[in-house]
Chain A
Amino acid sequence: MSAIAFRLNGRPVTVEAGGGRMLLWVLRTDFSLTGSKYGCGSSLCGACTVVVDGEAVRSCELPLESVQGKDVTTIEGLEHGGRLHPLQQAFIDHGALQCGYCTPGMLMSAYALLKKRPGLGREAIAQAMEDHLCRCGAHGRILDAIAEVSAKGGRP
């Protein structure tokens, strides 16, 4: 069996290929990176979102094979040396979470979004986040948090 090699939160890793596995379960099971959540398993909620080569993708339906040679960042990779990413800090400051289950996915999407399109306004952010679900109804504060970082040019 061949192996799939990729960078995970900056570290090179390899996983045995085969079996039609999805990245979410590899992250959660093989690496115990449990920050990425299962919410629907069908790319409908966004709880499992990770960033692959700069793009926010839903890991619940992302075949492991497709990350061969790529750079994967999960919520656990957002903080650097104990320093929170400005988005994480903004989520805390704005109270942009309640149960927190959607939070990692929200943050990873926002992270990829602002990297690609810095300075985006609240309205455009809302559009880009449209397919992320939050049952607790933290939407308004999530947008406030992302918009604040966006306005500041949000770099770690």
Chain B
Amino acid sequence: MSAHGLDRREFLGVLGGGIVVFVSLGPSSLDGQQPRLRYPEDLNAYLRIDEKGRVWIFSGKIEMGQGVMTSQAQMAAEELGVPLSSIEMVLGDTDQCPWDMGTFGSMTTRMFGPALRAAAAEGRAVLTGLASKKLGVSPDALVVENGVVYVRADRSKKVSYAQLAQGKKISRLVDGKAVLRATRDFTVMGQSPKRMDARAKVTGHAEYAGDVRLPGMLYARILRPRAHGATLTSVDVSAARALPGVTVVQQDDLVAVLHADPEAAGRALMDIKAEWQTPPAAVDQDSIFDYLVQRAPAPAVRLMKGDPTAARAAAARVFESTYRSGYRAHAPMEPHTAVAEMKDGRMTVWASTQTPFPARDAIARALGLPATDVRVITPFVGGGFGGKSSGRQALEAARLARITGKPVQVAWTRGEEFFYDAFDPASEVKLASAVDASGRIVLWDYQVYCAGDRGTELFYDIPSAAIRTYGSWGGGAGANGHLFAVGAWRAPGANTNVFAAESQVDIMAAAAGIDPLEFRLRNTSDARMRRVLQAAAGAFGWKAAPGPSGAGRGVACGIDAGSYVALMAEVAVDRKTGHVQVKRVVAAQDMGTIVNPDGARMQMEGCVTMGLGYVFSEEVRFHGGEILDRNFGTYHLPRFSWVPRIETVLVKNDEVAPQGGGEPTIVPMGAVVANAIFDATGARLYRLPMTPERVLAALPPKA
């Protein structure tokens, strides 16, 4: 099929009838849209109102639990004036959806949302225009409800979207002129419908990549090195090859066994004899910090304001601290999985990925196929958190399908998942700050290694401040001295940065003898931050007292993805074991206009709960390139007994367009717990995770 280079009219011909509105986010978001395929080249998504009145939304975004399937549908339904039930979402299919860079960075609602809404509003304008001709009244005299256009003065005169779309072939490029509905008129946005994916997920029918079943499909297991950096010195596949039903593939770096039964493939893998040469281990989870700092690239100056040198010299006391965070795994419950099939010269890959289009392009490059001959389909993704961005497993499946000529499934084991995960990098923050006699912060000298600048944004009114970043959170293996791949982990870098910044603020508040909430309010004039702090305090019933008060209460706040969030927590510390129980967390968030309040709360609760992992236990242990934590027996995720009472407060702010909601609440989790531990015990923790051993070591000796 040569759909390459279609213009919009031709494209509509391919689609069939109805009314189509194309979404373009503008030139910058189309960078990298190469090769341009099957679509008029300036598009990011489109929606189509078909001749039955159903609304189809084609978007390259994917559903990995964050609820965008529902929230995007709500936005379109609102602007079009149709019930949610008439929306069909087609997500993450590179044949059916226009190019999209991927689902990450809390950008779906913030960046893509406005464009989708504008397209839907345009669709409504087109349909209202058609209705106006048909009914012979001006568009102003019409109202739209549930996909039906009525004459306001005489509701017996009406026509449905389905009738209007009949026999039409109309396409529009959204120009942003159609007026969006006002927040006060919302009937679908601002509501909390049940998740559109819920029924499929509770019945076991929701399809994930590993659930795809193709006739003749083989399950592949791939030979993996023992450690990153190891090289294969010899391999003997003869025993595996002798097993019944086993196909062995050996091509370049790829050694794999395949079988119609996944367990048989696993056993065959054990019959491969391989020798590896592993470089000597130079570093582990404790020595990594100095190692990385020594190898850090030159800093980028993100902020230089006032005169930090003079402020330091003038300060009565400078607080100097070093904060550290270990490597964190994404550990989605669904490991990376893909199924690939080569048929009639085209490669189709079903993949659990956050980046279907980049995955498609990588497969095309690796196989030497034109990108038009590769299709990536993204079924439901069983958790991503930034970790499903590489597409490595999709590439492996595609290579094996091409070599064997059979459909192939590559489903990583949990051990492979830990091994190839692009961890949230180990990182370090060096901070020097000072406060004057009136409790105002006068100096902020912030240097961060390997975490980048997300979460460093200064919302305190500090006259002299410097922020320097040495390297960032991204990069493949070897980037910035890391021994394995590192990458985006839910709010990349911000968990480290906000842990450091908000711990430091607490240290100064305590030294100044000022209640930590009062101290924050005294130092910020940012209205949105003040509002979330006060909202959290109100819900929590915050009682002002300088720390450590013994009560075990903490506060921390931050900005992420355009949203403001303040957390308050109450903890109990077992001084004998070092075990910390978080009893209660209040989270107040201003995320601009809220599309789906319950969806937003769900994400906030998820952030608090997932955050407990990096707060208390999650740190990947390694010995050189060898990853020591390869399953949940030693890498501990949060469990039911860890989960506190969580109260979420949505701070209304309809002045601001919808902002990110999947990440903000997780970023202050480290600091809010560290600050609460300090309030309970006087012990200050500078390293995440705050394991019982580290808590014990930090506790002041008993008087």
Contacts and interface: CB of A to CB of B under 8 A. Distances in A.
Contact of B643 (A37, A84, A140): A140
B383 A99 contact: yes
Interface in A22-65: 22, 25, 28-29, 32-42, 44-45, 47
A4 interface: no
Interface of B: 64-67, 194-195, 197-208, 210-211, 213, 261-264, 331-335, 380-385, 411, 413-414, 598-599, 602, 605-610, 631-633, 637-641, 643, 646
Given A133-B639, A135-B331, A143-B640, A84 B203 contact: yes
Nearest to B217: A29
Given A42-B414, A132-B640, A97 B609 contact: no
B202 A97 contact: yes
Contacts of B67: 98
Nearest to B195: A95
Contacts of A34: 204, 207-208, 210-211, 213
A75 B199 CA distance: 12
A97 B335 CA distance: 18
B203 A75 contact: yes
Interface in A115-156: 126-127, 129-143
Contacts of B199: 84, 92
Task: Determine which residue in B208, B599, B640 has the highest number of CB atoms from chain A within 10 A of its CB, and name it.
Answer: B640
Contacts of A103: 201-202
Contacts of B383: 98-99, 101, 135-136
Contact of B631 (A33, A35, A42, A88): A42
Contacts of B201: 97, 100, 103
The 10 lowest CB-CB distance pairs between A and B, nearest first, are A35-B204, A137-B609, A99-B65, A100-B201, A101-B382, A98-B65, A75-B204, A137-B606, A34-B211, A44-B632
Given A95-B598, A130-B639, A140 B609 contact: yes
A131 B636 CA distance: 11
B332 A99 contact: yes
A100 B197 contact: yes
Contacts of B609: 137-140
B204 A45 contact: no
Contacts of B334: 37, 39, 99, 101
Nearest to B263: A25
How large, as a class, is the contact surface on chain A?
35 or more
A98 B607 CA distance: 12
B305 to A, nearest CB: 37
Contacts of A33: 204
A129 B414 contact: no
A89 to B, nearest CB: 8
Interface string A72-110: 001110110000100010011101011111111001000
A36 B205 CA distance: 10
28 contacts: A19-B264, A20-B263, A22-B263, A25-B263, A34-B211, A36-B204, A37-B210, A37-B334, A42-B414, A42-B631, A44-B632, A91-B202, A95-B194, A99-B64, A99-B384, A100-B200, A101-B208, A101-B334, A103-B201, A126-B643, A129-B640, A130-B639, A130-B641, A133-B639, A135-B331, A135-B385, A135-B637, A137-B638
Contacts of A95: 194-195, 198, 598-599, 602
A12 B658 CA distance: 53
Contact of A92 (B65, B194, B210, B261): B194
A29 B264 CA distance: 12
B640 A98 contact: no
Contacts of A25: 261-263
Given A99-B334, A131-B639, 8 more contacts: A32-B213, A37-B333, A38-B411, A39-B334, A39-B335, A84-B203, A99-B64, A127-B641
Nearest to A36: B204
B240 to A, nearest CB: 16
Contacts of B198: 91-92, 95, 97
Contacts of A41: 413-414
A96 B335 CA distance: 21
Given A95-B194, A98-B66, A139 B202 contact: no
Nearest to B385: A135
Nearest to B413: A41
B245 to A, nearest CB: 11
A39 B202 contact: no
